[in-house]
Amino acid sequence: MHVQPFLRMDNIRKRFGSVIASAGATIEVEEGEIYALLGENGAGKSVLMNILCGILTPDEGEIVFRGAPLRLGSPEQAVRHRIGMVHQHFMLVPSLTVTENYMLGQGSPLRLLSRMRAVSSRISELSDRYGLDVRPDSVVRNLSVGEQQRVEILKVLYHGIDLLILDEPTAVLTPQETDRLLDLLRGLVKEGKTVIFISHKLDEVMRVSDRVSVMRDGRVVFTTKTSETDPRELARMMVGRDVLMDLPRTAAQPGRVVLAVTNLHCNNELGLPAVRDISLEVRQGEIVGIAGVSGNGQSELALAMTGLVPTTAGSIKLNGEELRGLSPSAINRRPFAHVPEDRHKMGIVLPLPLTENVILQRYNQAPFSVRGLLDLNAIADHARDLVRRFKVKARDVDVLIHTLSGGNQQKLVVARELARRPDFLLINQLTRGIDIGAMEFVMQEVLKEREAGKAIMLISTELEELFAICDRILVIYEGRIIGEVPPDRSRLDELGLLMAGKRIDTAPAATLM
């Protein structure tokens, strides 16, 4: 259209060892538009944007910005060209104040910090102008995730950026906070700024962007005006085939109560209340979803149920037996399985082989341990069995698990947990960070378990995942269950309000149970 686009990244290639992260991606961005970059995890969006903001240098390819070739050696140089990025994981130092964070890396290292006051008042001024409600002398550690994001965005504005890149900015936000963010982006564009918006959420892209490109396997496979496409087309482009948004399933036939949580309380690491008076039941043959924005007590709820953080009050009963107060190892011996939230942190042990990973909770139980000694043959047989049944792509069972892709790692974790033949399965984030093929596979396996009469609880921040397989969805907010919604996409607004802490008068929490 234009002879000279605002920004052109041409045939960008970048590889890390044997992994090709960017395989000749090309994009063009117009001045004053919101440009969305859509793609699955690992499609190469973040790598491309990290190149644009100077964190990574491309192996090949050219960037032309405002008509001149752009060669960046550091993010600082990007800022000098008025390009700035808000990262998915915030780049704020928790122990410092907002002002100190803004001053970080600015100017000569030998300069004194006497300018602090001037910086503070400039922050207040900008905060008022954009309505971001950022207080310059707050210590970042004490801010909520949403507040921290506003601090990040304001930091970019403070540095006088013309091209703003946001990497998955809505992942940690409530629907209402998301709305507010999208409004802000529209306002920035009106001021003449340009926005690149990375996401894998179709609806946001549809709502806010002017144009959209889809990335897959390190390449841009599709670019269009947003007004000329629809979510289904974008989704197809993302995965290379139609998404099975709705998995075939029969209506739930809940049986007896398997797991009952009553009036449960527990604290977080800092000793503050994290789970407040939660009561819920999970029956045979149903999948109960727990929806909520990250950080509302879901993690602590899951850890409390498995004995990993101490509870302060309440009860957790499995098949009528009290679990509260039992050690994690005692709970492991009950028919209670747990797919943890962060597999790298908890679910698997990266530098060990598959064999040693499949016995994680059963390392001291028969048949894997006989009189205190490990039976290597039994362990290897078990690992091979799981690999075969769950179609885990691994050369052998004695390869180290960190050589597997995220999807295959998650398959192995789910396989391991299901192999324990639990009555109750607690899943915290089933499909986080895995490819769409693995995603479908594990969702189907979980549904199969439901058909087999297992009681399943799925904690997720991905509403799509919850809608796809849950039978009912409870919403957690600030440590409380504040409502229940059926898995019906038409009730999305209602769900969003609940996730933002707005109770619905017609369905008060007290009557939910």
Partner 1 sequence: MADINIPPPTNATSILAGASLRAGLSRLAKATAPPVVAVLLALLAGAVLLAVTGFYAFDIFTVMVNGVFQDVGSIAEMLLRATPLILIGIGLCVAFRCSIWNIGAEGQFYAGSCAATFCGVQFAGLPSWAHILLILVAGAAAGALWAAIAGLLKVLFNASEIVTTIMLNYIAIFMTSYLVTGPLMESGAAYPQSAKLLREVWLPRVVPSTRLHIGILIAVALAMIIYVFLFRSSAGYAVRIVGINSHAARYAGISVRRSILLAISISGSMAGLAGAMQIAGVTHRLYQDISPGYGFEAIAVALLANNNPVGAIFSGILFAVLDSGSELMQINAQVPQVLVFIIQGMVILSVVGFAALKFQSARPQE
Partner 2 sequence: MDHILTLGFLATTLGATWRLATPIIFASVGEVISERAGVLNIGLEGTMLIGAFTGFATVYATGNLPLGFLAAGAAGALAGLLFAFFAITIKANQIIVGAALNLLGLGLTSFLFRTYLVQTGQGVQIVPAMDVPLLSQIPYFGTPLFRQNVVVYSTILVALGAYFLLFRTSFGLTLRAVGEHPKAVDVGGRSVALYRYAAVLIGCSLAGLGGAYLTLAHANQFVEGMTSGRGFIALAVVVFARWSPIGAFFVSLLFGMFYALQLQLQAEPSIHIPYQVLQAMPYLATIVALLLVRNRTDTPATLGVPYRKV
For the bound state, the minimum distance from the C-beta of residue 310 to partner 1, rounded and expressed in Å, comes to 12
Stretch that binds partner 2, among 111-119, 163-171, 260-268, 331-339 (CB under 8 A): 111-119
- Which CB sits closer to partner 2, 54 or 407? 54
- Residue 86 CA, distance from chain mean position: 16
Smaller CB separation from partner 2, 55 or 257: 55
Out of 57, 113, 245, 247, the only residue in the binding site for partner 2 (CB under 8 A) is 113
Residues near partner 1, by CB under 8 A:
16-19, 21, 42, 306, 308, 327-333, 338, 340, 345-353, 355-356, 359-361, 363-364, 368-369, 372-374, 376-377, 380, 398, 400, 402-403
Does residue 267 interact with partner 2 by CB under 8 A? no
Using CB under 8 A as the binding rule, whether residue 74 contacts partner 2 is answered as yes
Angstrom CA distances, 241 to 123, 199, 269, 427, 433, stand at 47, 19, 43, 27, 19
Q: What is the DSSP string of 74-100?
A: SHHHHHHTTEEEE-SS----TTSBHHH
When binding is defined by CB under 8 A, the residue of 34, 35, 46, 100 that contacts partner 2 is 100
44 binds partner 2 (CB under 8 A): no
**Least Å distance between CB 301 and partner 1?**
15
CB of 374 to partner 1, least distance (A): 5
Q: What is the DSSP letter of 56?
A: S
Q: Which does 55 bind (CB under 5 to 8 A by kind): partner 1, partner 2, none?
A: partner 2
201: contact with partner 2 by CB under 8 A: no
Output Rg (C-alpha) for the chain, integer angstroms: 25
Amino acid at 148: Q
What is the rounded CA–CA span in Å between residue 289 and residue 464?
A: 11
Pairing assessment for the beta strands 472-477 and 480-485 based on DSSP bridges: antiparallel
φ, ψ dihedrals at 273, nearest 5°:
-60, 130
To the nearest whole angstrom, how small is the minimum distance from the Cβ of residue 429 to partner 2?
23
- Judged by CB under 8 A, the residue of 60, 88, 93, 121 near partner 2 is 93
Q: 1, 3, 68, 109: which one contacts partner 2 (CB under 8 A)? A: 109
Asked if residue 186 binds partner 2 (CB under 8 A), the reply is no
Choosing among partner 1, partner 2, none, which partner's interface includes residue 105 (Cβ < 5 to 8 Å by kind)? partner 2
Report residue 458: phi and psi, to 5°.
-120, 110
Q: Please state, as a whole number, how many other Cβ atoms lie within 10 Å of the Cβ of residue 193.
A: 19
Strand partners, 85: 165
The CB-of-108 to partner 2 minimum distance in angstroms stands at 7
Q: Does 313 bind partner 2 (CB under 8 A)?
A: no
Site for partner 2, residues 46 to 65, rule: CB under 8 A: 54-55
Beta-bridge mates of residue 165: 85, 196
Q: Which helix (H) or strand (E) element contains residue 184?
A: helix 175-190
For residue 380, the tally of other CB atoms under 10 A from its CB is 17
DSSP 8-state code for residue 368: T
Asked if residues 308 and 393 have their Cβ atoms less than 8 Å apart, the reply is no
Question: Token pair of 257, please?
Answer: 């109560």
State which residue, 342 or 396, has the beta carbon closest to partner 2.
342
Q: What are phi and psi of 147, to 5 degrees?
A: -65, -40
Q: How far is the CB of 334 from partner 1 (least distance, A)?
A: 11
Contact flag: residue 271 with partner 2 (CB under 8 A): no
112 binds, among partner 2, partner 1, none (CB under 5 to 8 A by kind): partner 2
Smallest distance, Å, CB 340 to partner 1? 6
Q: Contacting partner 2 (CB under 8 A), which of 57, 88, 95, 253? A: 95
Nearer to partner 2, 89 or 371 (CB): 89
Q: Is 362 helix (H, G, I), strand (E, B) or coil?
A: coil
Of partner 1, partner 2, none, which one sits near residue 192, judging by CB under 5 to 8 A according to partner kind? Answer: none
Instruction: Select from partner 2, partner 1, none the partner in contact with residue 338, using the beta carbon and a kind-dependent cut-off of 5 to 8 Å.
Output: partner 1
x/- letters, 16..35, toward partner 2 (CB under 8 A): x-------------------
**212: number of CA atoms within 13 Å, CB side?**
26
Torsion of CA 283, 287, 290, 294, to 10 degrees: 140
Q: What are the tokens at 258?
A: 């398997």
Residue 513 interaction partner, one of partner 1, partner 2, none, beta carbon < 5-8 Å per kind: none
Q: Where are the alpha helices (DSSP H) in 313-375?
A: 328-332, 354-357
Stretch that binds partner 2, among 79-87, 412-420, 450-458, 505-513 (CB under 8 A): 79-87
Q: Which is nearer to partner 2, 55 or 378 (CB)?
A: 55
Per-residue b or e along 143-182, where b marks 16 or more CB atoms closer than 10 Å to that residue's CB: beebbbbbbbbbbbbbeebbbbbbbbbbbbbbbbbbbebb
The site for partner 2 (CB under 8 A) is made up of: 16, 54-55, 74-77, 79, 85, 87, 89-96, 100-101, 103-113
